[in-house]
């Protein structure tokens, strides 16, 4: 079925926007404006709940200490540490964050501050009062009622351990450790209900972290010293054994040495040097001896250099010179045969004899020295030859000796290096320092970090807005009623003939039909005239002759009877010959509303018991004729509207009246209505504004369409026009109620 209105000229039907076809901000704004009170109510409630909850929250204080992984390391002495300093890269900083958050460090803080006895970290220490105590007792009582498996009882030590672990978990839950950006700074924050406690615990975490670093280094150094000390003892024994093996082998093989070389080598060197010297001395002495022999053979023995070098010869030569001088002096004074001269000659001969004797002795001495030097040289050469043979033998033993020496040297070098490292690590124990330092200690916070009233207020506003919007969405989703002509055309696929206003100010004895008469220019009366016009001038053409319209509804209580009577009276006021028929044979609501107590009625006419004129009641004051119903039980057993007499009656009435309105029973529960609807010129389905579910209205339409009833459209009843304008959209008059309401005199 085409869901677009077949009456585009009608103001109500022009309002045919379907919100499901697209998303439109104006439509969403219309929904928000319509549900604004609900939005405000839910929002205020939600905001009040958030504020109330915030007042019940226990304030918590957060204190923060700051550490820095210092990339600068002090070097008091130039030596390597046993446990090297940290490299301040991203991975290391994040690893240190994990160390601070570790359970071992938290356990040290718990033990240091005795937090196991603090009620904030040990629930067993909390003293319950009032409602909390009652709740705990009730919970314990209920738990005792339930069957439980009996497990092994915990010992006191296990209870203490369990309590300590619980306190550690609570401390870690309140601890926040993080890196500040991409720096080397680590922030250690702790949150507690006591500001002083928060600062104390945050500072204790920082201090314990530094102490933990120092203890780690000290422990590593201590273990290294112990290991080095044990190792040094072993290396010392190995060095002694190796050196003892070298010396023992050296003694066994005669490979004694001094000043870096063996004794044999030194002896060979010494003897070789002596042999060279002796060889030179022998050559010198032999040369001197040969020279002396040559001079002696040539008769110039006195000029021999060896003689000249002799002091004895020198003395004798001086004596010889003195005697010769005296002889010359005496010869010049005396004759050759003078006794003095003879005496001098004897002295001179004696001196010469001594000189010759000394020369012979010197030559003999030279010959002896040459012989001795030759013998010594021969002996040295023989010793050198023996030592050389011995050295050749020793060189074979030196291979093993050098191997033993290398082993001893290697052990000695290793021992010396370990000894040096042991001395370094021993000194480092007094020079250890942490890789981090505290740059800002936690101070006592001035105000609570939780709850953040501003943030909670903003969150409450957001939640209030969200809850308000959610309530609007829920209300729109759960609202299955029909509100505007657009809803009717979109949901039901039929035109909306009119929106009949709700009458708020009725007197106790006044009916809507009376109001329509008393207020002909009211919005209610205008709606009735609009519906009448839609029926009589469908498709823009006035209907020929009389027009019969049946008013029905999906469910009882939708104003069907009041609208039928009001429509008839408005039609009569407009000069039309109008008849209203009460066709609700089960309840006779129209007859009762018109305050009639007839003796005959519709059933009697159809049954042929009375003529038409006797059953119709004229209301001359209002210019309206009414065909009532009489309360008879047999009405329910007759197929009244299916009789040919009913068709005959309607044809006869059409000749007398211009406009006939029939009040019928609801279309869904009563079958007679669907039978009667087939005899009408038009059928109008009345739907109560915002109350009748659209599914029920659809079911009523389907029921009428199955019998091919001439359905003219749907009319909304009991409409609050002031509120309906918030549903309006597009070009319908629902959107402009404030603009045209001055035309009404409600």
What pLDDT does residue 15 have? 43
Judge whether 637 lies within some domain.
yes
CA 361 to centroid of chain Cα atoms: 119
**Stretch among 369-378, 515-524, 548-557, 724-733 having the lowest mean pLDDT:** 724-733
Share of the chain above pLDDT 90, in %: 10
pLDDT tens column, 29-40? 877 877 788 889
What pLDDT does residue 19 have? 47
CA 286 to centroid of chain Cα atoms: 108
> Do both 553 and 684 map to the same domain?
yes
> Do both 486 and 457 map to the same domain?
no
Judge whether 358 lies within some domain.
yes
Whole-angstrom distance, CA of residue 570 vs CA of residue 577: 11
Judge whether 743 lies within some domain.
no
- How many domains does the chain contain in total? 4
**Three state DSSP letters for 362-425:** HHHHHHHHHHHHHHHHHHHHHHHHHHHHHHHHHHHHHHHHHHHHHHHHHHHHHHHHHHHHHHHH
To the nearest 10 degrees (0 to 180), the angle between helices 36-56 and 25-34 is 70
> Do both 500 and 473 map to the same domain?
no
Judge whether 15 lies within some domain.
yes
Judge whether 505 lies within some domain.
yes
pLDDT tens column, 449-489? 878 888 888 988 999 899 988 988 887 777 777 777 777 88
> Do both 661 and 595 map to the same domain?
yes
Whole-angstrom distance, CA of residue 405 vs CA of residue 151: 72
- Please compute the mean of the pLDDT values over residues 378-393 and round it to a whole number: 74
Supply the CATH number for residue 497's domain: 3.40.50.300
Judge whether 29 lies within some domain.
yes
> Do both 666 and 558 map to the same domain?
yes
> Do both 287 and 399 map to the same domain?
yes
Whole-angstrom distance, CA of residue 471 vs CA of residue 35: 9
**Phi then psi dihedrals of residue 730, to 5 deg:** 85, -130
What pLDDT does residue 205 have? 93
Task: Pick the closest to residue 679 from 550, 542, 546 (CA basis).
Answer: 550
Judge whether 494 lies within some domain.
yes
Task: Pick the closest to residue 581 from 612, 545, 557 (CA basis).
Answer: 612
Domain that holds residue 120: 61-72+83-210+433-440
- Which of 366, 394, 428 delimits the end of a domain? 428
**Phi then psi dihedrals of residue 254, to 5 deg:** 65, 35
> Do both 715 and 569 map to the same domain?
yes
> Do both 172 and 202 map to the same domain?
yes
pLDDT tens column, 81-104? 554 555 667 888 888 899 999 999
Judge whether 313 lies within some domain.
yes
> Do both 35 and 89 map to the same domain?
no
pLDDT tens column, 273-291? 777 887 787 787 777 777 7
> Do both 457 and 533 map to the same domain?
no
> Do both 317 and 410 map to the same domain?
yes
> Do both 166 and 51 map to the same domain?
no
């Amino acid at each position: 079925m085409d869901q677009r209105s077949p009456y585009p000229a009608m103001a109500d039907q022009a309002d045919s926007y379907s919100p499901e076809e697209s998303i439109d901000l104006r439509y969403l704004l219309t929904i928000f404006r319509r549900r604004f009170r609900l939005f405000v109510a839910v929002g205020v409630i939600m905001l009040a709940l958030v504020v109330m909850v915030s007042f019940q929250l226990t304030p918590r204080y957060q204190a923060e200490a700051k550490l820095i992984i210092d990339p600068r390391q002090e070097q008091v002495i130039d030596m390597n540490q046993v446990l090297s300093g940290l490299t301040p890269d991203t991975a290391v900083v994040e690893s240190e964050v994990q160390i601070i958050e570790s359970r071992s460090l938290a356990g040290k803080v718990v033990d240091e501050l005795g937090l196991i006895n603090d009620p904030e970290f040990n629930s067993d220490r909390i003293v319950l009062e009032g409602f909390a105590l009652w709740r705990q007792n009730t919970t314990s009582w209920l738990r005792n009622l339930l069957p439980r498996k009996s497990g092994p009882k915990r010992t006191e030590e296990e209870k203490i351990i369990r309590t300590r672990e619980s306190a550690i978990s609570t401390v870690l839950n309140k601890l926040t450790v993080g890196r500040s950006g991409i720096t080397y700074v680590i922030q250690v924050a702790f949150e507690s209900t006591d500001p002083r406690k928060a600062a104390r615990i945050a500072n204790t975490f920082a201090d314990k972290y530094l102490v933990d670093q120092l203890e780690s280094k000290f422990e590593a150094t201590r273990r290294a010293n112990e290991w080095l000390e044990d190792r040094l003892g072993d290396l010392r024994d190995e060095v002694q054994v190796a050196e003892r093996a070298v010396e023992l082998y050296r003694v066994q093989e005669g490979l004694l040495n001094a000043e870096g070389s063996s004794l044999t080598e030194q002896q060979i060197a010494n003897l070789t040097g002596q042999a060279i010297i002796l060889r030179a001395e022998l050559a010198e002495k032999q040369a001197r001896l040969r020279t002396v022999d040559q001079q002696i053979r040539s008769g110039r023995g006195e000029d021999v250099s060896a003689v000249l070098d002799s002091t004895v010869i020198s003395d004798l030569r001086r004596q010889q010179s003195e005697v010769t001088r005296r002889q010359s002096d005496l010869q010049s004074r005396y004759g050759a045969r003078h006794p003095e001269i003879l005496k001098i000659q004897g002295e001179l001969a004696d001196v010469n004899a001594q000189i010759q004797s000394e020369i012979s002795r010197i030559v003999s001495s030279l010959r002896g020295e040459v012989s001795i030097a030759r013998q010594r040289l021969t002996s040295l050469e023989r010793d050198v030859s023996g030592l050389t043979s011995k050295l050749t033998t020793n060189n074979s033993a030196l291979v093993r000796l050098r191997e033993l020496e290398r082993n001893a040297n290697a052990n000695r070098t290793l021992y010396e290096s370990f000894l040096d490292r042991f001395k370094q690590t021993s000194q480092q124990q007094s020079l250890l320092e942490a890789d981090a330092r505290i740059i800002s200690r936690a101070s006592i916070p001035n105000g609570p970090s939780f709850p953040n009233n501003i943030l909670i207020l903003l969150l409450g506003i957001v939640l209030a807005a969200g809850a308000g919007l959610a309530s609007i969405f829920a209300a729109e989703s759960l609202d299955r009623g029909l509100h505007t002509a657009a809803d009717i055309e979109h949901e039901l696929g039929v035109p909306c003939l009119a929106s009949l206003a709700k009458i708020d100010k009725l007197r106790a004895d006044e009916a809507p039909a009376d109001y329509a008469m008393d207020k002909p220019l009211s919005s209610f009366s205008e709606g009735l005239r609009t519906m009448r016009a839609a029926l009589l001038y469908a498709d823009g053409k006035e209907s020929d002759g009389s027009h019969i319209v049946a008013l029905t509804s999906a469910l009882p209580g939708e104003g069907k009877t009041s609208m039928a009577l009001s429509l008839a009276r408005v039609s009569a006021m407009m000069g039309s010959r109008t008849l209203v028929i009460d066709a609700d044979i089960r309840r006779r609501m129209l007859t009762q509303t018109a305050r009639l107590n007839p003796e005959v009625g519709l059933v009697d006419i159809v049954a042929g018991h009375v003529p038409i004129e006797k059953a119709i009641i004229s209301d001359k004051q209002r210019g309206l004729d009414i065909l009532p119903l009489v309360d008879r039980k047999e009405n329910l057993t007759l197929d009244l509207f299916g009789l040919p007499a009913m068709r005959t009656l309607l044809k006869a009435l059409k000749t007398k009246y211009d406009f006939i309105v029939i009040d019928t029973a609801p279309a869904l529960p009563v079958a007679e209505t669907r039978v009667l609807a087939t005899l009408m010129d038009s059928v109008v389905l009345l739907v109560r504004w915002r109350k009748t579910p659209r599914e029920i209205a659809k079911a009523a339409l389907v029921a009428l369409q199955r019998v091919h009833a001439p359905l003219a459209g749907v009319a909304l009843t009991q409409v609050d026009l002031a509120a309906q304008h918030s549903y309006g959209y597009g070009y319908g008059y629902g959107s402009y109620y404030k603009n045209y309401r001055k035309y009404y005199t409600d």
